[in-house]
Structure 1
Amino acid sequence: MRKLVFLINSLHNTGGTERMTTLLANYWANKGGVSVCIVSIHKGEKPFFELSNEVKIYYIKKSRKSNIYIGYLPNLFKVRKIARNIQPDYWIDVCSAMSLISIPALIGMNIRILSWEHFNANVEWNPITSNLARRLAARYAEKIVVLTQDDKSIFKMRYHADNVVCIPNPITIRVDKPSPLDVRCVLAIGRFTYQKGFDMLIDAWALTKCRKEGWQLRIVGGGELESSLRKQALCLNLDSIVFEPFCQDVISLYRNASMYVMSSRFEGLPLVLIEALAMGLPIVSFDCETGPKDIVDNGVNGVLVPTGDVEMLAKEIDELAGNVARQHLYAKHALTKSEEFKVEKIIHLWEKLIK
């Protein structure tokens, strides 16, 4: 029986890394012949996404959130002890930051380490630790798994890594019917952080004409900038913006929208855009360095806008909102494009990696 371990910062958050880890863990655990464990640095009330009962969870810290490097040495020993007990064949770091923990902790153990990078490889969460973690992964991990070909090139050029493979994220929702595109709603989903650029989206929305024609902007998420974003919308008198918390029923969110907009400053491979494709939503997105152009074929299933160009973002939202035929044409091509991200195809790539 193969044994797999995922090391992740947290399971209680609502992001793509948590969703993807849960999907792969559930797949292998339910398949049979594979033992799956997840080691989570932090402990929330419960995992946000439903986990199979066959997946065993270990927690390193009792806190919900903290600096992962506080108590660094004791954490290394805890991870090593867990690894000794499990004796896994493969150890998958969910985000290259985990390499700073797993690679030292697993020294001398016959365990194959895979570093699963979920972010743009040029983005640094810390000027020291991000580079160190990626250099460790480039040297000591068996494989680095990235989400886009651009990230593969960045790892090769910047970190001299020749152990990089590209496996995109798959569609994680089950779609029975695509959106009928009959609700005048623009949808945006994500954490309320600087990365997601909702401040720019709100500024763009203030410039749109469609908001005065019955269109609504629905921003779904939560996070540290929620109060400032709400204040921004209030100061601009934008009563056509609705803020909502994350929910498990994401399909209903997509089905009750006629357009998806993404305003991120940077991304890895945004799962929300892949889900929007699967639901047949036309897309307007900033063309940040990695991610959107792998999903959106400009002028075919959506529109790519130069990152940070708020006026252009508003213009493209208006043009799409005012052209129903174009909405349906983009939607048709979105469904075709979504075939590239079917879960069966992506799982096959992982199966080839973990033999």
Structure 2
Amino acid sequence: MKLLYITNKIAGVGGIQRVLSVKASYLAEHYGYHVTILATNQFGNSKIECPLSPKVNTITINPKRSLLFYFFSYKKLIQQVVATEKPDVVVMCDNGIKSFLLPLIVKDIPLVYESHTTQYNVQNENKGIARIVYKIAARLIRKFDAVVALTKTGAAELNTSNAHVIPNPLCINPTQQSSLSAKKLVVLGRHNYQKGFDRLFEAWKIVSAKHPDWELEIYGEDNPDCDIKAMAAALSLERIVFKKPVQDVAIAYADAAINLLPSRYEGFGLVIIEAAAFGVPTVAFDCPVGPGEIVTNHKDGLLIPDGDIKAFAEAICMLIEDESLRKGLGKEAIVMSQRYAKVPVMEQWDRLFKSLKRAEVT
């Protein structure tokens, strides 16, 4: 089986990069797939930081940046790679507008579209003409042979008969869990509007006033367009430590007590299951679309009505003040994380790819 993944970039340590490196490596190592990852916008630091099997091939293309010529350059370069690699299946892992155009570029090969976002993003962040173009392009999703969403809700949003649900696999296998005794809360995520740091800081203002001996650690790359350090300073917040993103999430979770997810929306919520693998429970807004399908409220974490900052702060305080509850949720979180173990998740991918290849033959 020859598989071609197309993604925006494979550099960095974001969720998509971590998951793609795990899936590609697993398919190559355990199923004998010939896997190639094609990065279409790999600029600047091109270092691949997530572990990738030496059996996985990587290719980078750089389409012309001119708005007028970009699509034609993008199309030509992808067609050249497909002609050279001759894949049995092509998987699109880029959720930008151009990703929907793949059926217009690649013919006579089974195509899979991986959805890593939610329609909330389309409706609330794409404005004006961009929203219109996105909605028109998104109709091409029905031209793919299969569309894979990470959650049932995400699949329902796509409103297409070719949808499948395959969650992200757990990318880590911790050898030990956190004791949950350190007075530390953690957040991992990109510095942007989606991740809801403004909501987090409003909650932290309440929490830190009540529990000034606790500390908040935030892992993520600085973003001048969303300066969360300035947000924190404007609220005169203290005991916040800003750290660079890490490839090894054990650095964040191994001694954490509580994981926080203040996002406005998610495609899944990978940090929830990664924290859970270390026995660290999560307090999350029940935002679209992932947290509500991962966390069982008051069993392996706490789900808060989306946007209720006071309730979010109160839930954090409750876990800070009740160690037995914190440890109980953490114990169940470990069990929950195993629902996303690599073996059963990758078995689903293998079945899908082989079914598409058989369908092509017949």
Query: Is TM-score (shorter-chain normalized) higher than 0.5?
Result: yes
Does residue 21 of structure 1 match 2:20? Answer: yes
Contact 2:208 2:214 in 1 (8 A): no
Q: Counterpart of 1:131?
A: 135
1:20 Cα deviation (Å)? 1.2
- For residue 164 of structure 1, what is the aligned residue in structure 2? 163
Contact 2:63/2:70 (8 A) holds in 1 = no
Shift of residue 137, structure 1, vs aligned partner: 1.6
Deviation at 1:60, TM superposition (A): 1.6
Shift in Å, 1:246: 0.5
Q: Displacement of 1:16 after TM fit?
A: 1.4
What displacement does 1:252 show? 2.3
Specify the alignment match of 1:55 in structure 2: 56
Distance 2:22 2:341 in 1: 13
SS in 2 for 1:111: coil
- 2:281–2:333 Cα contact (<8 Å) kept: yes
Name the SS of the counterpart of 2:227 in structure 1: helix
Deviations 1:227-285 (A, max 9, x none): 73112222323221111010122112101210001000010101001101111111110
Range with greater deviation from structure 2 (48-57 or 92-101): 92-101
Q: Secondary structure in 2 aligned to 1:281?
A: coil
Residues 82-136 of structure 1: CA deviation (Å, up to 9, x unaligned): 10111110000003435334222113xx211000001114421541343234311
How many pairs does the alignment contain? Answer: 345
Alignment partners' CA distance in 1, 2:157 and 2:299: 27
RMSD between aligned alpha carbons?
Answer: 2.0
Instruction: Return the offset for 1:24.
Output: 1.1
SS in 2 for 1:10: coil
Aligned to 1:102: 102
Partner in structure 1 of residue 231 of structure 2: 232
> Any unmatched runs of 5+ in structure 1?
none
**Counterpart in the other structure of 2:172:** 173
- In structure 2, do the counterparts of structure 1 residues 226 and 48 end up closer, same or farther at CA, with 3 Å as the change threshold? farther
Change (3 A) 1:100 1:225: same
Give yes or no for contact 2:101–2:140 (8 Å, CA) kept in 1.
Answer: no
Where does 1:1-355 land on structure 2 (aligned, <5 Å)?
A: 2-31=1-30, 33-43=32-42, 44-61=45-62, 71-97=70-96, 98-107=98-107, 110-124=108-122, 125=126, 126-138=130-142, 140-156=143-159, 161-209=160-208, 212-225=211-224, 228-355=227-354
The one-letter amino acid of 2:202's match is D
Q: Could you tell me how far apart the structure 1 residues matched to 2:217 and 2:66 are?
A: 32
**TM superposition shift of 1:50:** 2.2
Deviation at 1:174, TM superposition (A): 1.6
Would you say the 8 A contact 1:112–1:142 is kept in 2? Answer: yes
Determine helix, strand or coil for the equivalent of 2:317: helix
CA contact (8 A) 1:99 1:136 kept: no
**Matched residue type, 2:250:** I
Q: 3-state DSSP class of the match of 2:121? A: coil
SS in structure 1 opposite 2:189? strand
Q: Which letter does structure 1 place at the counterpart of 2:88?
A: D
How far is the alpha carbon of 1:294 from its aligned partner? 1.1
Q: Aligned partners of 1:317, 1:233: CA distance in 2, in Å? A: 18
Query: CA separation in 2, counterparts of 1:180 and 1:67?
Result: 53
